[in-house]
């Protein structure tokens, strides 16, 4: 597969390490009353869609960017690639 890196252009997927669902960015609040439940949900309850899937890839053999890749799990078509850092900032993650 080829992942079109937002900064570097098309790169072979072999240069990347796969992590999983991009929802891993949305780490729960540790001080919430039901923090254990929330973390359990966050870590273990993943969707496994036959179709579009937003997932985390790490450009280990490249610029060390974490990317959010939108990939169709049936066809491998990739319809979006973003820097995970931008996604995280946009979703309100900070310090």
| Residues at the interface with another protein (CB under 8 A) | 1-2, 7-8, 10, 12-15, 17, 19, 24-25, 27-28, 30-31, 35-36, 39-40, 42-43, 56, 58, 60-66, 75-76, 78, 83-85, 87-89, 93-95
For 30, 69, 94, the CA distances from 58, given in Å and listed in that order, are 25, 10, 20
Please state whether beta strands 52-58 and 78-83 pair in parallel, antiparallel, or not at all (unpaired): unpaired
Q: How far is the CB of 47 from another protein (least distance, A)?
A: 18
Q: How far is the CB of 64 from another protein (least distance, A)?
A: 5
| DSSP summary character for residue 28 | P
Residue 39 near residue 31, CB atoms below 8 Å: no
The smaller minimum CB distance to another protein, of residues 46 and 85, is found at: 85
Q: How far is the CB of 48 from another protein (least distance, A)?
A: 19
Q: Nearest to residue 24, comparing CAs of 57, 67, 47, 56? A: 56
The smaller minimum CB distance to another protein, of residues 1 and 80, is found at: 1
Integer Cα distance of 95 and 90 in angstroms = 13
The smaller minimum CB distance to another protein, of residues 61 and 80, is found at: 61
């Amino acid at each position: 597969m080829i992942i079109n890196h937002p900064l570097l252009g098309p790169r072979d997927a072999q240069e990347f390490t796969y992590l999983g669902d991009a929802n891993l960015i949305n780490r729960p609040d540790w001080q919430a009353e039901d923090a254990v439940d929330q973390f359990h949900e966050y870590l273990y309850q993943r969707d496994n869609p036959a179709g579009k899937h937003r997932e985390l890839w790490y450009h280990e053999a490249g610029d060390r960017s974490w990317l959010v890749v939108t990939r169709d799990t049936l066809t491998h078509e990739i319809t979006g690639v973003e820097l995970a850092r931008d996604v995280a900032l946009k979703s309100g993650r900070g310090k």
